[in-house]
Amino acid sequence: MAIYCMQCGKQHPDDANFCMGCGSPFKTGVQSPSMQWEYKNLVISLNDRRLGEKDTDASWIGKIVDSALQREGQAGWQAEGPTDLGSLSRGGLIHQTDRHNWNKTKILETIYHSVTIRMRRLSRK
């Protein structure tokens, strides 16, 4: 069973005392500790994987990102913004190089280097 924060709606395990989303206490009589957000950039390597003009399936990026976010989540980190492939791409957070044909009218190959995601977690002051 899970409990939900009344302030921000984030889901937590039953034994949680405070919301990891906004810091609100769940149980009466529990003093809210002095909390602050801690930030870091998570850089996820894509190992310079190459996709040619006929190989356009980049769904593997989402799988790598999801796996890295799950590992970070175990330490209390959460992404500050959306992490779907479209949002990462539109936000310029997927670092890639495109190799064009001689007159730059067609992309022949895309080399994927890394993804950078801004992370945050609540920590005691």
Over the chain, what is the mean pLDDT? 84
**DSSP for the chain, written as a single string:** -EEE-TTT--EEETT-SB-TTT--BSSTTPPPP-EEEEEEEEEEEEEEEEEETT----HHHHHHHHHHHHHHHTTT-EESS--SHHHHHHTT-EEEEEEE-TTSSSEEEEEEEEEEEEEEEEEE-
Kindly report the pTM of this predicted structure. 0.67
* pLDDT, position 15: 77
pLDDT at 93 over 80: yes
pLDDT in tens, 49-78: 888 766 667 788 989 999 999 999 999 899
